[in-house]
Amino acid sequence: RPNSLAARDGAYHFHGYTNALKNEQEGGFVVTRGDGPFIYTEEGKEYFDGLSGLWCCALGFGPQPRLIEAARRQMEILPYYHTFTQKVATPTVELAEKLVGLAPVPMSKAYFCNSGSEANDTAIKMVWYFNNALGRPQKKKIIARNKAYHGVTIASGSLTGLPAVHADFDLPVPGILRTDCPHHYRFAEPGESEADFATRCAENLEKLILAEGPETIAAMFAEPVQGAGGVIIPPATYWAKVMPILRKYEILLVADEVICGFGRTGNWWGSQTYGMTPDLVTSAKQLSAGQAPIAAILINQPVYETLRDHSNRLGSFAHGLTYSGHPLAAAVALETLRIYEDLDIVARVRALAPHFARGMQAFAGHPLVGEVRQIGLVGAIELVRDKASHASFDSKLAVGPNLVRIAHDHGLIVRPVVDSICFCPPLVSTEQQLDEMFARFGKALEETHAWLRR
Ligand code: PLP
């Protein structure tokens, strides 16, 4: 249809993470409205969005009267002010105070950005600046894990541990060290317990630190649950083993809470779920329920004081963005956090999580399913060729992406990470809505199975 929005998108829009030629030929998948966990296309077809957009729309996709009002009020009062040279708009102050109050460990200050990538990029600069302030300019390397996702800018994209994000973008930049992805099902030795696997990951981390020289390593960045790497849930004892190593070598921990923050794992923060004690926390996405672009970095007192004193000597911390703490985004985020509190979102996630877990685990016995993993309201179902050996399908078959295409036909949006199918439904979903999501997934799984047997 030549004048459809889909066709116009194909003609005029170059999207990321999209096959551009296919988009030109077939046009975009144009979403025109939402209602709860459902979205509707130009043609009126309904989809359950099982990934909350991009792991962000905690409140679903329908209009939120309180957020509309918060945004409208702020547009009326003061649509823009910046955060440079001590200037700041009201909701930005209130949001900073609120975030420091909610932090997973005692934190001193909040710093605002517009996206998770920017927050991680900025956190890298903070860590470098911190070590320059302490007179150890050689302590700059950053550790990140295989299958990590920390964003796509030149620095945060370098931390990301997914080859597709690096290929032909000349990434990673130098100074990034890579350590194990703590995925027991995939990377444990035969017979190795979760606890022993966690010990081995920690030992490998320490070996890496000693081989590189601890005096050259500034920080480790880590997601509590690795999201875009395929919802990788660490062994229960992993962080208890990793934390002391980071402390021993004075390596800062930056917890990337961009997906886990604000209730996703059944606590306000994934750091609380896994016993991480970060020095900095980066957050975005559910901070505004995906409804305004905003991200925040929380900084603990010792790091903050060092940044403050060094920047005082230099004149200022010479880093900031036109839209850092944008009042409109801050007003929406502040109201989002109040909605979470009024809904008691953490209690709600905890109440719904067993139902979600049962729905996920119901697929564990299926011949195509190797592992089902979930925490809170995030999880993945990993498809395998052979359940006993965990052997994966030939990547040429593109089993995961094909299942996701079939799921589309059944009105379900889920994310394939190779052959792991990721689920991250809105936090306000009902049990019935989750049942509907799993019913649609079940049909797609059966059709995939039939296709593979052909
Ligand atoms: N960190 C994590 C854990 C993420 O999942 C993402 C995005 O998916 C990012 C960082 C990057 O955030 P953004 O896309 O807002 O730049």
Q: Which domain holds residue 104?
A: 67-343
Q: Is 10 helix (H, G, I), strand (E, B) or coil?
A: helix
| 422-441 average pLDDT score | 98
The confidence band for 326, taking pLDDT boundaries of 50, 70 and 90, is: very high
Are 337 and 349 in the same domain?
no
In sequence order, the β-bridge partners of residue 378 are 375
Is the model's pLDDT at 231 over the cut of 90? Answer: yes
Are 223 and 322 in the same domain?
yes
The confidence band for 322, taking pLDDT boundaries of 50, 70 and 90, is: very high
Q: Which atom of ligand 1 is nearest to the CA of 151?
A: 11
- The position carrying tokens 């004193």 is 309
Distance from the alpha carbon of residue 228 to the mean position of ligand 1, in angstroms: 8
Q: In the listed set 327, 343, 359, which residue is the last one of a domain according to the structure? A: 343
Mutate which of 51, 112, 117, 417 to test ligand 1's pocket (most atoms within 8 Å of Cβ)?
117
Are 193 and 296 in the same domain?
yes
Output the average pLDDT for the chain: 97
Q: In the listed set 292, 308, 343, which residue is the last one of a domain according to the structure? A: 343
Distance CA 154, CA 163 (A): 14
Q: In the listed set 301, 324, 343, which residue is the last one of a domain according to the structure? A: 343
pLDDT value of position 80: 98
Q: Which atom of ligand 1 is nearest to the CA of 284?
A: 15
| 154-161 average pLDDT score | 98
| 397-415 average pLDDT score | 98
Percent of the chain with pLDDT over 90: 98
Kindly give the pairing relationship between strand 252-256 and strand 217-222.
parallel
Are 19 and 77 in the same domain?
no
Tokens of 281: 């926390």
Contact (CB, 8 A) for 145 and 179 = yes
| 367-382 average pLDDT score | 98
Are 201 and 302 in the same domain?
yes
Distance from the alpha carbon of residue 450 to the mean position of ligand 1, in angstroms: 35
223 Cβ inside 6 Å of ligand 1? yes
228 Cβ inside 6 Å of ligand 1? yes
The pTM of this model reads 0.98
258 Cβ inside 6 Å of ligand 1? yes
415 Cβ inside 6 Å of ligand 1? no
pLDDT value of position 28: 85
Q: Which atom of ligand 1 is nearest to the CA of 148?
A: 3
Q: Which atom of ligand 1 is nearest to the CA of 116?
A: 12
Are 157 and 302 in the same domain?
yes
Are 240 and 360 in the same domain?
no
Distance CA 136, CA 306 (A): 13
Are 358 and 334 in the same domain?
no
The confidence band for 87, taking pLDDT boundaries of 50, 70 and 90, is: very high
292 Cβ inside 6 Å of ligand 1? no
What phi and psi, each to the nearest 5 degrees, are found at residue 37? -80, 5
Distance CA 305, CA 439 (A): 53
Distance of CA 132 to the CA centre of its chain: 29
Contact (CB, 8 A) for 362 and 438 = yes
CATH at 394: 3.90.1150.10
Distance CA 195, CA 148 (A): 21
Per-residue pLDDT of 162-215, as tens digits, reads 999 999 999 999 999 999 999 999 999 999 999 999 999 999 999 999 999 999
Are 244 and 304 in the same domain?
yes
Per-residue pLDDT of 249-292, as tens digits, reads 999 999 999 999 999 999 999 999 999 999 999 999 999 999 99
Tell me which DSSP letter residue 391 carries. Answer: B
Is the model's pLDDT at 1 over the cut of 80? Answer: no
**Strand order from edge to edge, sheet including 369-375:** 369-375, 378-383, 420-423, 415-417
Distance from the alpha carbon of residue 116 to the mean position of ligand 1, in angstroms: 5
Are 350 and 328 in the same domain?
no
Task: Please count the structural domains in the chain.
Answer: 2
121 Cβ inside 6 Å of ligand 1? no
71 Cβ inside 6 Å of ligand 1? no
Per-residue pLDDT of 11-32, as tens digits, reads 999 999 999 999 999 988 999 9
Are 9 and 114 in the same domain?
no
Are 394 and 291 in the same domain?
no
114 Cβ inside 6 Å of ligand 1? no
The confidence band for 2, taking pLDDT boundaries of 50, 70 and 90, is: confident
CATH at 182: 3.40.640.10
